[in-house]
Amino acid sequence: MPDKITYYVIVGGSNTVHNPRGLVRRLEHEDGPSDEALRDDFSWKSTPVIVEWERGDFDDELVEVSHEQSSKIIEYFRHQWGPSGQPLDS
Amino acid sequence: MRFLDLPDEPEHPDRASVDGADRSTPRRRELPDPDERGRTYEAMRAHASAETAREPSDATGESQHDQRADGAGQRGYRNEVPCFMEMWAKHERRWPETPRHAADPTSPDRDGGQRQGPDRQAETAEAIGRVREVEPELSANAQAIEQENKHGGWLDGFKDRLKRKDRLEEKVAEKLEAEPRMTAAAALREVADAIRFTYCFQPEDYTRGYYDMKERFESRGHEMYYSKNWWADPEYKGVNTRWVTAEGQRFEVQFHTPDSFHAKHHVTHLAYERIRDTSTSRAERRELHEFQREVSSWIQAPDGAADIPDYRKEGF
């Protein structure tokens, strides 16, 4: 169980915090952090994106969002991608 | 041992290099904050092997490492390099390399098998082909700028200016995992460091050299859309900039001193690769960060470098 979770949206190009490209999170454990990205099947998977961003090695920007905002963003993605990763209008 | 490679001493430090061979001239420099250095080193020692713990100390309690100094009694980054190598060798013994997911971009685990396949491979190949097409002209630009600059800057690591195909594919795979609606072609268009040039300056020339190079790239019609100053960062030193040509090809230009380039290229590179590898344990990752902090704590920040502003253009 992580002590703390920090969420970040991925923005870049024409994508802002209102229509982000993706959602990642850092889980703080007693022995250090681990990072995960939200996949289009709405599962979380390990990602190097946050580490790369911290080193200036990621092409897009990350913007920290609150837990409440992250829930809304997941709902936004659910609408965009559909419940299992397919767009609702496809 | 590859990490023991030190850049050769330049025969003509004020003459720019065309082939990008490693060059550096260690100069006397101020020491970084000794408290920070000591804390980092002690933390690193605490995680090192029992062999490290048995290093002899003299009556003052200082270890051999603490007593290391150059001929003038001045300790500096170059003096410490053998110690960094020893630390890294111990790290590798403590944490032997294991097969890692990140090294295999074709692993089905990388994207659940959803985006692998002929279409993506074709997209990737086409995009890489475009990069290869525009690279010679960009490289010629970068070499001309090297020759013209008035501050003794030289291209370093020039032979590595093109990112390897497998690393590019890996980077795209990682991006697509985190940005599920991105296409491979779009992701590749946005990779800034598919082409990377690195300029080194002696510390006393660094800040003026940065601005001079920036103007020279701009005068050739390239636009800087990102600049990040890492001189205050505890684990990495330098300024990384991203550019776009009038035709839309992105590329990266890094600005280093001989020491910051050496640290990045010859000392901490594998540590960073392990840090960004998602299969690395949290315990090892913590030690890797400590190693990077220790190495970086010895690198002198050039005068004025702290004032080079960060920048990011909207829409990029």
- Residues from chain A that touch B286, judged by Cβ atoms under 8 A, are 31-32
Per-residue DSSP letter, A12:
B
- Residues from chain B that touch A81, judged by Cβ atoms under 8 A, are 180-181
- Residues from chain B that touch A31, judged by Cβ atoms under 8 A, are 282-283, 286
Question: Given the DSSP bridges, would you call strands A22-29 and A32-38 parallel, antiparallel or unpaired?
Answer: antiparallel
Whole-complex ipTM: 0.87
d(CA A69, CA A63): 11
Rounded to 10 degrees, the C-alpha dihedral B185/B187/B188/B189 comes to 90
What is the three-class DSSP state of A44?
Answer: strand
Task: Note the pLDDT of residue B99.
Answer: 64
Q: Is B283 in contact with A31 (Cβ distance < 8 A)?
A: yes
Token digits of residue B157: 């690591």
Task: Note the pLDDT of residue B104.
Answer: 42
Question: Given the DSSP bridges, would you call strands B250-256 and B196-200 parallel, antiparallel or unpaired?
Answer: parallel
Closest residue of chain A to B279, computed from CA coordinates: A46
Confidence band, pLDDT 50/70/90 cuts, at residue B290: very high
Confidence band, pLDDT 50/70/90 cuts, at residue A24: very high
Q: Is B276 in contact with A48 (Cβ distance < 8 A)?
A: yes
Confidence band, pLDDT 50/70/90 cuts, at residue B308: very high
Task: Note the pLDDT of residue B269.
Answer: 95
pLDDT digits (tens, 9 = 90+) for A55-89: 999 999 999 999 999 999 999 999 998 866 555 44
Chains A, B: CB contacts within 8 A come to 78
- Global pTM reads 0.78
User: Which single residue is written with the structure tokens 């290099």?
Assistant: B17
Confidence band, pLDDT 50/70/90 cuts, at residue B73: low
B93 in A contact zone (CB under 8 Å): no
Q: Is B177 in contact with A52 (Cβ distance < 8 A)?
A: no
d(CA B93, CA B88): 9
- For the ranges B63-72, B96-105, B244-253, the lowest mean pLDDT is seen at B63-72
Where in chain B does DSSP place strands (E)? 154-156, 196-200, 223-229, 239-244, 250-256, 311-312
User: Which single residue is written with the structure tokens 């590019």?
Assistant: B168
pLDDT above 60 for B22 = no
